[in-house]
Amino acid sequence: MTTVLPWLDKTARAQVVARLKNTASMEIEKRHWGTMAKGSSPGGGLRLYILDIRGLFLVAGVLRYTLRFHASGVLYRGQCRDWQLQPSLLRDANTKREISSRLTWLTSALAGIESLFDPIGTADEREALAQHYGLPTRWLDVVDNVQTAAWFAYHRSPTDPPGRDDSVRYIYALAYPLAGGAATALDLRLKSSEWLRPHIQQAWCVRASDAMTNLGRLSHLHLATFIVPRPLLAEWCSLSALPPHVMLPNAIEDSGLRYWQRAQDSLKAKGLLPVPW
């Protein structure tokens, strides 16, 4: 079984988990804002039913406060399904040989866009930004605002399976070490605001230190899953202020998307897109 928060010693890990459990039982339940759920998510971590947005903010605040004393931070990801966290480059890769082949493809793809897409950025920044705009990479898209994660949990992309409005959705809480090591996190809002999408979405990216370990899965970061009825998410995620055309600005509004479209055309011309798997 994957050890969550492996950068902490056993005592510190127990303190973080105990704080989360105690908050669920002593604070959320007595206010009727939610309750602890049985079982665990596919990737591990505690599960909590959240029935009031105040409960969501309360648990998010406890996590942030608790983790700061362990040189760690917390990020979130909204999901339509409950599944293991794995970056897009490595999904459905079942062997190290497959991963090695995809990493070779990624090296070629990133070299092919270096002069077109964030040429002054670091290699990690370029790869994380490319992930954010649509290239399969070693990074996973996350946000540092739990209400923004609620937006992504509510909304379906064209590739999502059909769902009912009485279904539940999932918000994952991921812990990460501030000093790196087991994982690296990047705040994409450190880029210029000409990259508009990450600023609107409060976007970060996170990746494991070694793509070969555990087939690149991020189970060791998965601290908790918040299970929320989809109709509640509709009320919580500021739909009137943040409709899809705002959260996903077009190429006229977002220079970053124009840069990505040029980079994408270049990769297609080189035969690197569509992806060869």
The residue among 123, 151, 153 whose CA lies nearest residue 138 is 123
Least confident of 157-166, 197-206, 238-247: 157-166
Q: What is the reported pLDDT for 239? A: 79
pLDDT of residue 164: 56
Q: Tell me, what's the pLDDT at 25?
A: 81
Closest CA to 32 of 52, 57, 46: 52
Tell me the per-residue pLDDT of 123-149, one tens digit each, with 9 for 90 and over. Answer: 999 999 999 999 999 999 999 999 999
Average pLDDT over residues 186-211: 96
Position 43 scores a pLDDT of: 62
Which two three-digit tokens encode residue 208?
A: 């494991």
Residue range 56-84: average pLDDT? 95
Q: Is the pLDDT of residue 159 over 60?
A: no
Model confidence at 160, pLDDT cuts 50, 70, 90, reads low
